[in-house]
Amino acid sequence: MGRRAEATVVGSGEDVDAFERFVDQHGSRLRRVLGASFGATLGAEACAAALEWAWETWPKAGELANPVGYLVKVGRSSLRLDRVKESPSDEIPDGLVESHHTDPDLVAALDDLTEQQRSAVVLVHGFGWTLAEAAEALDVEVSTVRNHIRRALSKLHAALEEVPDDGIR
C-alpha cells in the first residue's frame, strides 16, 4: 500500500482515477482466481504483485483485452519457484463456503489436484462461475476449463470414494 501511495504522487489525477476504476472492475475476480490457485495468503500476495505491475505500466495495463487473464499470469510469475508451495486449502478462499467447516478429505483431495484443475473446479463449482467466465479469467478456452473440471471431478470422486451420478460428464 505504501508503494502505491508513493506511485500516486508520480501519476496524474486522471491516472489514479482510471486505475482505481480498473481495480474496482477487475480486482475481485483477480483475487478469486489467484486465491483458488494458490490459497488465500499466496493468492493475495500474487494479486498485489499483479496490481502493482498494472500500476507501474499504466495506462498500457488499462488497455489489455483480457486484463484478468493477463494479470493472473503476472501474479503467478511473481511467486518465486523456489518458494515452498502453500497448500491452497490452508485457508479457504473468501466466499467459497459460508462456514469454515470443510470436510478434511475434500481439503486433501483438492490439494492433490493440479493448479489448473483446482482453479477450474473451485471457480465453477465453488464460486458458481460459468465455464466462459472461468475460461476468460484463466485466459484459456472453454473446452480447456471443461477438461480440467472433468479431470478434477474424476480425481475428487476417486479420492472421496464417491460414484459420480449420470449428470457429471
* pLDDT tens profile 85-125: 444 544 455 555 444 456 778 878 888 999 999 999 999 99
CA distance 107 to 110: 5
Instruction: Tell me if 142 sits within 8 A of 132, measured CB to CB.
Output: yes
Helix 13-56 and helix 2-10, axial crossing angle in degrees, nearest 10:
130
Could you say which of 1.10.4160.10, 1.10.150.310, 1.10.10.10, 3.40.50.11540 is the CATH number of the domain covering 100-169?
Answer: 1.10.10.10
Q: Burial code of 103-140, b = ≥16 C-beta within 10 A, e = fewer?
A: eeeeeebbeebeebbbbbbbbbebbebebebbbbbbbb
Range of lowest pLDDT (1-5, 55-59, 96-100): 1-5
